[in-house]
Amino acid sequence: MFIAQSIKPNNDFWKYILGSFTIIMFTFVGQLPILAAVISKKLSENKFFEDALQSSSKDLMTTLDLNLTLFLLLLSFVFSMIGIWFVVKYFHQQNLLSVTTSRKKVDWNRILFSFSLWAVFGILSTALDYYNAPEHYVYNFKLVPFLILFVIATLMIPIQTSVEEYVFRGYLMQGFAVLSKNKWFPLLMTAVIFGSLHLSNPEVIKLGPILLVYYIGTGLFLGILTLMDDGMELSLGFHAANNLVGALLVTSDWSVFQTNSILKDISTPSAGYEVILPVFLIFPILLYIFSKKYNWTNWKEKLTGNIEINNQIKN
């Protein structure tokens, strides 16, 4: 059983608290290059002290070229991944496979299926919205900047999304299992923490806390995927498709990723059906599709039951 793979002698919950702070420190080190680049740019323009007093952090982040900014933002997640590996190996005496899946090796077909399913949905839904309301968009495509974006996004966004999955659906999911010895508590806690950490996103600031319904709902959906499938492969594929397609297709002045995408959304932002629809309609449909493809059964036990400590890694 995936969630029980961390339950072993001397693997106490306090190690997960210490491990979480260690991962945060690795992430902070990874953020130093973009901080240095922004400060250097401002100093060269003699605007640093003025902007430090008058500008928001987002204004400072748009100081650099969009592709350079994206690269440096995503670079911090490379350090985060190193931190996850370090903590899992030396704090918990586990390997990354044990916080990825209960299978003997990562099932790449699961990752690719989940990625493809959500990528196709993202592309089609964007195309439909553009067809219905073309006045909400402007054509933003420029060949060279887009090609650079494509390379950066394709190589590094999967690292960013994998870090988030390893932290929430892997490391913390198993950590809360050590604490609670059940499944419902890790599922709810990781969903709430995942959603709450998006409070500082510009989308939430712009649209209001109602957007947390989507973020917490997404965390709950990804946690259900992980528990029902006994591994993170499906959530890894979904999350990578969600962020990668979004970064390549559409940007806006108020989104967390400002990119040289194909389209730019210039509509007045509002939190409407698009916040509720995924959580209460689209995600349940996806769960149904996955359950039929992978023959999921015994939902109540897998999502809310107590943990059998002596379960072994399945074939």
* pLDDT tens digits for range 231-257: 999 999 999 999 999 999 999 888 888
Q: Which residues have a Cβ under 8 Å from the Cβ of 110 and sit 6 or more positions away?
A: 229, 231, 233, 234, 237, 294
- Token pair, residue 220, equals 């709950």
- Token pair, residue 102, equals 């209960």
Least confident of 15-19, 34-38, 113-117, 273-277: 273-277
Mean pLDDT of the residues in the chain: 91
| CA dist 233 → 111, 118, 215 (Å) | 5, 14, 20
**Angle 127-131-134 from CA coordinates, rounded to 5°:** 110
Average pLDDT over residues 166-187: 97
Least confident of 43-52, 114-123, 142-151, 208-217: 43-52
CA distance 102 to 145: 41
- Token pair, residue 148, equals 């650079």
Q: From 213, 241, 237, select the one nearest 225 (Cα to Cα).
A: 237
pTM for this one? 0.92
Average pLDDT over residues 256-278: 86
- pLDDT at residue 292 greater than cutoff 90: yes
Instruction: Identify the three-state secondary structure at position 93.
Output: coil
Q: Determine contact, residues 172/226, Cβ cutoff 8 Å.
A: no
Segments in the chain forming alpha helices (H): 13-44, 48-54, 57-61, 66-90, 108-132, 143-165, 173-180, 184-196, 202-207, 212-229, 233-249, 273-277, 283-294, 299-304
Q: Determine contact, residues 19/184, Cβ cutoff 8 Å.
A: no
Q: From 280, 256, 129, 270, select the one nearest 202 (Cα to Cα).
A: 256
Q: Determine contact, residues 102/1, Cβ cutoff 8 Å.
A: yes
Q: How confident is the model at residue 49 (pLDDT cuts 50, 70, 90)?
A: low
